[in-house]
Amino acid sequence: MARQAALAACLVLLGLKCWSFASWQLLRPVLCNRGDARLRAADEKGDATPAVWSPGPAKLATRPAKRAMKHLQYDPLLVLFDQTVKEEFKHLSSQRAKSEARARSSPPGAIGEAFGLATLRNRISEIKRKERLKTASELMYLMVASMFKYLEVPFIPALKSGGLVRLDMDGEQLRGLTEIYSMEALELVRDHLFNIVKEEARTPAPALRIALYQAGQVYAMSALFGYYLRRADVRYQLDKLVSYDVQEEPDPDESGRKRHRRPVPRWMELAWAQSETRGDMSLKDYIQNFGPEELRQIRSLASAEAQAVMELQVSGLFGNLRVLKSRLLEALEGAENEQEATERLQQALAEGKVKSISISYDNLRRLILEAVAFGSALFDAEREVDSFYELTPTDRRDLDL
C-alpha cells in the first residue's frame, strides 16, 4: 500500500483520482520472459530514424485531419501545417453557423409535417455536431503531435499487443520532454515521476511485468496531471505578473520552452522564466491555496475536444481500457485480500490470460514523462484553438476509457 499511498499523495495535489483495485502493490518486479517477448517500441534492425515522422499511435478518420497530417509529416517548419489547421477550423466554424441558421428557421407546412421535419433536422444537426467535434478533436490531436515534432521527440508506438517494451532513451529526447516546463512546474513533474517509480536503476535492472490496463491507467493519469499542471502554472505565472508588476521579457537562455533554430508557429513559443525567485508563494503552495471553485475549474478538462484528444492517445497506445479492465477484474475475482489478488494477477500474467507488458524502470519513466508532456501540450493546443474556434465546454472529469 505504500506505493499507492505515495501515488495518491502526489495526485491529490491537483485533485486526480487514483484507481482503487489495480493497486501498485500488484506491480511486482519480475524478470521478463525473453523467449516470447516482442519488441514494441524499438527497431531491431538498428535503424532508429523513420523515413517519415509519425504523428502518434491514434488512428485518424476525418478527411481534414488526414490532410493536415500530410503537412505535419513533411513540413519541417510546421508553418504550412499551422495554416492548414486554422483553415480547417475556419471551415468548421462556417459549417456550425450554417447549421445553427437552418435550425432557427421554421419548416413550412402543416403542424404534423412541420414537427416531423423539425425532428429530422434536429437529428441531422446532432450528427453534424458530432462530426465537427470529432474533426476538431483530431485536428487538435495533430497540434499536440506537432509540439512533439518541434521538440524532436518521437511518440511511443502502440503497445496494444503487449510484450517487451524497449524505448529510445536518447538524452536529447529526454531533455525535450522536460524543457517545456517552468522550474517549479518541473519540480512537481519530478515529484510525480518519483512517487510512481521509486525503484532506483540497478545493474542489471529487472523488468516490471504489469497488466496493460495498469500501464494505460498510469499513462492516462500522468497525461491528466500534465494538463492540470500546465493550467495551474499558467494562472500562477499570470498572477505573478499582476502581483509583482513584472514587465521584463524572459531571457531566451532561461526559457522554460525549448527554442529551436527554425521558426515555428507562435503558440509554440510560450515560455516561462526559470528564475529561482518566486516571491512569497511557490507553485505548490499556490495550488494548495485554491478554493473549491478554483479546484473544480483546474481539475476539469475545459472542452469535450480535449477530452476526446486524451482518449484518442490512450486508446491508440493501449487499446480499449474498458475491455482490459474487465479482463483484469475477471482474473482477480474472488480474491479476499491484497496478497491473494497479487498472486492471482501474477498467475494470470504468466498464463497470458491478462495482456501485459514487460518494461524496465527507465522505460517506464520515459513513458510517464511522455504522458505528462502530452497533457501539457494538449492544454497549450486547446488554449490556442479556443482563441479562434468555439470549443464545446464540458464539466465531465472522468475519461471515457
Q: What is the pLDDT of residues 193-219, one digit of tens each?
A: 988 987 555 555 678 899 999 999 999
C-alpha cell of residue 85: 489547421
Q: What is the pLDDT of residues 239-295, one digit of tens each?
A: 888 876 544 554 444 444 444 444 556 655 544 444 444 456 888 888 888 888 777
pLDDT top residue among 349 and 291: 349
Cβ distance 394 to 315 under 8 Å?
no
Percentage above 90 pLDDT, the chain:
46
- Residue 184: pLDDT over 80: yes
Cβ distance 337 to 235 under 8 Å?
no
Cβ distance 145 to 72 under 8 Å?
yes
pLDDT for position 11: 40
pLDDT for position 41: 40
State the pLDDT confidence band at 37, using cuts at 50, 70 and 90: very low
In the predicted model, what is the mean pLDDT of the chain? Answer: 78
How far is C-alpha 104 from the geometric centre of its chain's CA atoms?
38
Exposure of 290 in the CB half-sphere (CA atoms within 13 A):
22
Q: What is the pLDDT of residues 377-390, one digit of tens each?
A: 999 999 999 999 99
Give every CB contact of residue 184 below 8 A, 6+ residues apart in sequence: 233, 236, 278, 282, 283, 284
Neighbours of 212 (CB within 10 A): 24
Torsion of CA 313, 316, 319, 321, to 10 degrees: 10
pLDDT for position 14: 41
Neighbours of 51 (CB within 10 A): 6
Comparing CA positions, the residue from 129, 134, 146, 131 lying closest to residue 68 is 146
Segment 70-96 shows an average pLDDT of: 94
Percentage above 70 pLDDT, the chain:
71
Task: Give the separation between CA 201 and CA 192, rounded to whole angstroms.
Answer: 17
Q: Where are the domains of the chain?
A: 2-58+159-386
pLDDT top residue among 6 and 311: 311
C-alpha cell of residue 175: 531533455
Q: What is the pTM of this model?
A: 0.80
C-alpha cell of residue 21: 483495485
State the pLDDT confidence band at 400, using cuts at 50, 70 and 90: low
State the pLDDT confidence band at 160, using cuts at 50, 70 and 90: very high
Report the DSSP pairing between strands 356-359 and 208-211: antiparallel
pLDDT top residue among 204 and 6: 204
Of 75-79, 305-309, 392-396, highest mean pLDDT: 305-309
pLDDT for position 358: 94
Report the DSSP pairing between strands 163-165 and 208-211: unpaired
Element (H, E) at 163: strand 163-165
Neighbours of 39 (CB within 10 A): 12
- Residue 176: pLDDT over 90: no
How far is the CA of 345 from the CAs of 3, 8, 31, 352, in angstroms? 17, 22, 15, 10
C-alpha cell of residue 61: 478518420
Q: What is the pLDDT of residues 312-346, one digit of tens each?
A: 999 999 999 999 999 999 999 988 899 999 899 99
C-alpha cell of residue 324: 482490459
